[in-house]
Structure 1
């Protein structure tokens, strides 16, 4: 099981449903200003945002590196694949990466990814993503939390140091024998300064909005247009 599949198994215990819906509302409102007929959702998760956009008549495709997430999308009849976004074929009017997907990449990976996304946009295409601010990492994401039910117990321990957030997930899940199976892995996220996004060849940063998702100014929304 990959660390992203562990996250997928534990996500329902994290209490992020309200925040996720708020992000979907924000992205949808931004896309309303553009004539979007085709959309690529990178890091599509369980497909909630694609479902919203499909209801608006937009043709959507999703990719995610968690096979568990993609299986859930496919079970709903959504067009989703467990592949690297750089391997997607075709071009789109808009590409989105929702809920700090960009923070899962180091600087080199990030620049390579963004330049690749520019190649997958139609002329005048739009790319929208959100990232954690430094405050969002240091004062919101860092720390320890736990949650449990009769069938599961989750502990999350996150440490922010040297502009990296290392989050250890430990999940105990009750099995058919009545005992508990332990899953444990770590996910690393990286803080990125805005100037990285202002030096891209294929994308032009046209708007940035710092906003509050969990706490004061913990997120920044980035809107790019294809050069």
Structure 2
């Protein structure tokens, strides 16, 4: 899927409140560690970066969507369109908020985590959240629609063989009589907790269930570079 299509439809997904709650949880966790520099992986429009910088941390963001990166940069934030393995420099901490790890298959996840480890200072931390099996099968699966004056969005999702397939269909009004249709699919992968227990150079030090949309639909993971 084009992540730029997701960026166009994001305001119709109704995730503002849950995003705020996740950001608050990440900030509470970051405050427990001596973090001066932070890498936000999948930074989006930079909402978490703004909050973190208010705490005195120097924050850099990366995202795969040019639309998101441009929005963050327009706020004066340091953001770039690149993947974690393209990042230079090192950081006291890195975060990957709102399902970033679930957008990676098993092999891609392993590569991603190794690149994260290489970007962390000795003893640095990495915080991420993942969807639980319940979060995929009982919460994310299904159909939703939403609209505003110039857009109509349909989201259809089904879970099969540890994969959640979600099709986005967005209609955008280009004139009073004309609508432009854009459609694409994203795939997310379920990762059991045991997959994170023996990651080279990253030790899983803490994890806990999160109830974001339903009871225990997500899990927060905290790693430390070793």
TM-score (norm: length of structure 1)? 0.98
Partner of 1:30: 29
Q: List structure 1 segments (4+ residues) > 6 angstroms apart after TM superposition.
A: none
1:187 corresponds to 2:186: yes
Q: What residue ranges of structure 2 are gaps of 5+ in the alignment?
A: none
Partner residue in 2 for 1:217: 216
Counterpart of 2:139 in structure 1 is 140
Equivalent-residue separation in structure 1 for 2:185 and 2:42 (angstroms) = 18
- The residue number in structure 1 matching 2:11 is 12
Deviation at 1:150, TM superposition (A): 2.1
Shift of 1:195: 1.1
The answer to whether structure 1 residue 75 and structure 2 residue 74 are counterparts is yes
2:208 is paired with a residue whose SS is strand
- Separation in 1, partners of 2:148, 2:45: 22
Q: Secondary structure at the match of 1:93?
A: strand
Corresponding residue for residue 85 of structure 1: 84
Identify the residue that residue 164 of structure 1 maps to in structure 2: 163
Aligned partner of 1:43 in structure 2 is 42
Measure the CA separation in 2 of the matches of 1:69 and 1:213: 23
Cα distance in 2 between the residues matched to 1:149 and 1:128: 34
Q: CA RMSD in A?
A: 0.9
Distance in 1, matches of 2:12 and 2:176, equals 23
TM-score, normalised relative to structure 2: 0.98
1:203 and 2:210 aligned: no
Q: What SS is found at the alignment partner of 1:175?
A: strand
1:153 aligns with 2:152: yes
For 1:102, the equivalent position in structure 2 comes to 101
Unaligned runs of 5+ in 1: none
Count of residues paired in the alignment: 226
- CA–CA separation in structure 2 for the residues paired with 1:39 and 1:178: 47
Deviation digits for residues 55-102 of structure 1 (CA, Å, limit 9, x no counterpart): 111000000001100010011111000011110100000000000100
Q: How far apart in 2 are the matches of 1:113 and 1:165?
A: 20
Secondary structure at 2:124 match in 1: strand
Instruction: Find the aligned partners of 1:57 and 1:150 in 2 and give their Cα distance.
Output: 39
